Structure 1
Amino acid sequence: MQVSVRNHHRTRCKETKAGWLPYEWSCVPLGDLALVQTGLAKGKNNLRDPVKRPYLRVANVQDGFLKLDEIKEIALEKHEVERFLLRPDDVLFTEGGDFDKLGRGTIWKGEIPGCLHQNHIFAVRCNDRRLLPDFLAAVAASSYGRRYFLLSSKQSTNLASINSTQLRSFPIPLPPFPEQKRIADILSTWDTAIEQIRKLIGAKERRKKALIWQLLTGKKRLPGLTVSWKEYRMGNLFTERNETNNHHLPLLSITGSRGVIPASEIDRKDASAQDKSGYKRIVPGDIGYNTMRMWQGVSAVSSLEGIVSPAYTICVPNAYVDVRFMGYLFKFPPVVHSFFRHSQGLVSDTWNLKFPHFAQIRVRIPGVDEQHRIAEILFAVDNEIESFEKSLSAVERQKRGLMQKLLSGEVRVKV
């Protein structure tokens, strides 16, 4: 790749709505380069000539890829199918949701024949002589694209949305078509690497899921271990830690996906002035769970000492259990279902699992030696997944840095 870096005086550049661009480039509203197709709204009744078709929802459109494991169908009038039909090379943009879901230019490759899209997804059909779909997807995913959508959006607490007018107004930095193709080809090298790593992560996660069902049910026994599994009440395996008035300890949070972490990592509010006299101490080797969300499996083994909100319950394991094994067991779907059945409250907003009810739940577990070996196996798989996720983050960072240079014309490619 031959490059020509823009100089500090921008003597060969011009200022546009998309920032400083090379003189050979244009800056054109997306609406002049593509058709923006809005989607199908749910909930129509009394259809005269209904047909059912698969359709994409926001949950299917991820950041740079499609998640097609769960595709739903929708009923509509037969004559409307063509109006909402997706075509190969349509670029899909999400209307909104969480800030990180805003925009998301992902290319449809015709993965599902006859598929439609809901009204919270825009399908952008590029003029094939002026704008390359892969180039548009890259611009949308760039820091410039994300910033445009965020600043143009209608925002409320943690939510943002764009409309079709704002999407059509999106200023596209537009190099000549051959240069668009060369840029897209270069970025596709990174996309291929990213896709390969994602597939490896998916394979590891499927392997972990299979191992969990085999090892935590006793269907697969480890060599040399013949001790029978036994049933215990949770109250025979754990005691509750209710130590308060530890103001000097750091404030922690218990999450379902990241474990026990410093509260500052997820809450930027200054909590220094709060009364923490009722906050509970947690130490390495304890398991903490969200009392009102245990039925969703929100629990974690702690590797930190600190204090947590009174909304959490802290469990101290006894000598019969390996705490890492129990950490996996607490997230095992049949056990999570037991947490759900024993939770108290009239509606889901008030369901809670306090320690006395938690203590009545029965689980079947192996001896502590087998628990330890099972935990070691699952922990090793987790480490492999974490390693691949770090590699994925590194490649994605490299791609973002390259995108910034290529899509602004700071680095030019030889066509």
Structure 2
Amino acid sequence: MKKWPTVSLGDVVELQRGYDLPEQERHAGPFPIVGSAGPNGSHERANVKAPGVVIGRSGAGFGSAHYCDTDFWALNTGLFVKNFRHNHPKFVFYLLDDLDFTKYNSGGAQPSLNRNFIYPIQVHLPSWDEQEKIADLLSRWDTATQKTEQLIAAKERHYSRELSRLISRGQHHPHAHVDAFAEEISVRNRGGNEARVLSVTNSRGFVLPEDQFERRVASADLSNYKVVRRGQYAYNPSRINVGSIARLDGWDDGVLSPMYVVFRLDEAKVDSDYFLHWLNSHEARQRIKNSAQGSVRETVSFSEFSALTIPLPDTVTQAGIARYLNALREEIDLLGQSVAALKTQKRGLMQKLLTGQWRLPVQEEAS
């Protein structure tokens, strides 16, 4: 096979800045509005014909690429491909999506992408036939990922319905206050024995702060930090109303900022998995939100949290409900791992296919 030529990005595409569209003029219609972060709303008119590709020029989606298979309105927060210069549109999308545009920021503190700055980028350019083959193969990974994500969404809806049916709407269940089985604990790290600093998020539960903030966020002196052990619960009183409460499962122990509330359950009275599922329910989140106090920064003390009521059948029934809901969550988690694997595989394929390290068979032109 012939070696691919190396060309400038400006030889592959012609880019143009999108158009302004004031909020008062954003009338809903059949055409998606596509900006830096991708589709956001719809409009009655389109200013770019499909197929199209948009690169985030500024804002949250800076440097990201988005493919549009319908006519759309290109916002001024993005650069859209005005001319594909006889290249395959989907291949161009993958080519742009694989490039790291962050090093070409021309806007200083506020990131901005200037087309003249990125036109000189050197890329490999295969023939149309190979472009088509590459685009088709990578599209298969996108389709598999999308279908799996749609399945996850459906499974999440089913889990929520079952959670409501078995716990929240279990009218026959007796109710009890949380303080009937939960106890606040406040063990301080006086000896400095624990050095693993943790925090609690509303989406990932317990995390290392450096994983969330890309740096360690903690006091140099950890002696006043609260110790949390595996199986115990903790929450940030000023963020519990948005779901920042979790059980420690990923580590044996750690320490939390003194602002956190740590508590444990009497598992002779409540199944911990059952209680964790209840915390995920709409009913629990709404009750927690309603109990928040403070006009400026809503907080929930442990006394307020422990005054909440929870549907509490006998422990055998709790365990049965928890096993069933655990199975639903495990299935969702496995599907999530599949999505992560598909995305990793696709990224690896892009690195090989878009540089010509791996070639796909195409029919050679007759000489």
Which shifted more, 87-96 or 284-293? Answer: 87-96
Aligned to 1:252: 198
Aligned to 2:69: 109
Contact 1:88 1:108 in 2 (8 A): yes
Match of 2:265 among 317, 328, 337: 317
Distance of aligned partners of 1:289 and 1:106 in 2 relative to their CA distance in 1, 3 Å threshold: same
After TM superposition, give the deviation of residue 270 of structure 1 in Å.
Answer: 4.7
Distance of aligned partners of 1:23 and 1:37 in 2 relative to their CA distance in 1, 3 Å threshold: same
TM-score, with length taken from structure 2: 0.83
Which shifted more, 193-202 or 260-269? Answer: 260-269
Contact 2:62 2:111 in 1 (8 A): yes
> In structure 2, the residue corresponding to 1:320 is in which secondary structure?
coil
For residues 109-258 of structure 1, the aligned pairs below 5 Å read: 109-110=69-70, 116-127=73-84, 130-142=86-98, 145=99, 147=100, 149-153=101-105, 160-163=111-114, 166=117, 172-219=123-170, 228-246=172-190, 247-249=192-194, 250-258=196-204
Q: Output the amino acid matched with 1:133.
A: P
Distance of aligned partners of 1:262 and 1:93 in 2 relative to their CA distance in 1, 3 Å threshold: same
Contact 1:234 1:363 in 2 (8 A): yes
After TM superposition, give the deviation of residue 37 of structure 1 in Å.
Answer: 4.7
> In structure 2, the residue corresponding to 1:315 is in which secondary structure?
strand
Describe the superposition over 1:299-342 as per-residue Cα deviations: whole angstroms up to 9, x where unpaired: 11112322111232112112322122222222222221221221
Give the distance between the partners of 1:201 and 1:353, measured in 2 at CA.
32
After TM superposition, give the deviation of residue 271 of structure 1 in Å.
Answer: 6.2
Describe the superposition over 1:211-233 as per-residue Cα deviations: whole angstroms up to 9, x where unpaired: 222222235x9xxxxxx412222
Aligned to 2:49: 87
Contact 1:40 1:118 in 2 (8 A): yes
After TM superposition, give the deviation of residue 269 of structure 1 in Å.
Answer: 3.3
Give the distance between the partners of 2:174 and 2:108, measured in 1 at CA.
52
Give the distance between the partners of 2:21 and 2:156, measured in 1 at CA.
34
Q: What RMSD, in angstroms, separates the aligned Cα atoms of the two structures?
A: 3.1
Aligned to 1:379: 326
Distance of aligned partners of 1:271 and 1:345 in 2 relative to their CA distance in 1, 3 Å threshold: closer
Match of 2:349 among 380, 397, 402: 402
Describe the superposition over 1:215-270 as per-residue Cα deviations: whole angstroms up to 9, x where unpaired: 22235x9xxxxxx4122222223111111125212222222222223444335435
Q: Output the amino acid matched with 1:201.
A: I
After TM superposition, give the deviation of residue 151 of structure 1 in Å.
Answer: 0.5
TM-score, with length taken from structure 1: 0.75
Distance of aligned partners of 1:325 and 1:152 in 2 relative to their CA distance in 1, 3 Å threshold: same
Gaps of 5+ in 1: 5-11, 13-21, 75-80, 222-227
After TM superposition, give the deviation of residue 294 of structure 1 in Å.
Answer: 0.6
Aligned to 2:10: 29
Matched, 1:56 2:33: yes
After TM superposition, give the deviation of residue 59 of structure 1 in Å.
Answer: 9.2
Gaps of 5+ in 2: 363-367
Give the distance between the partners of 2:303 and 2:89, measured in 1 at CA.
58
Identity of aligned residues (%): 24
Matched, 1:411 2:367: no
> In structure 1, the residue corresponding to 2:93 is in which secondary structure?
helix
Count of residues in Structure 1 that have an aligned counterpart in Structure 2: 356
Give the distance between the partners of 2:280 and 2:263, measured in 1 at CA.
15
Aligned to 2:299: 352
Give the distance between the partners of 2:34 and 2:306, measured in 1 at CA.
41
After TM superposition, give the deviation of residue 280 of structure 1 in Å.
Answer: 0.9
Give the distance between the partners of 1:122 and 1:254, measured in 2 at CA.
38
After TM superposition, give the deviation of residue 156 of structure 1 in Å.
Answer: 7.6
Contact 2:36 2:59 in 1 (8 A): no
Contact 1:24 1:176 in 2 (8 A): no
Matched, 1:292 2:238: yes
Q: Output the amino acid matched with 1:93.
A: I
Contact 1:27 1:174 in 2 (8 A): no
Contact 1:240 1:313 in 2 (8 A): yes
Describe the superposition over 1:41-76 as per-residue Cα deviations: whole angstroms up to 9, x where unpaired: 3345xx7xx955364366973xxxx7xxxx6456xx
Q: Output the amino acid matched with 2:88.
A: L
After TM superposition, give the deviation of residue 293 of structure 1 in Å.
Answer: 0.7
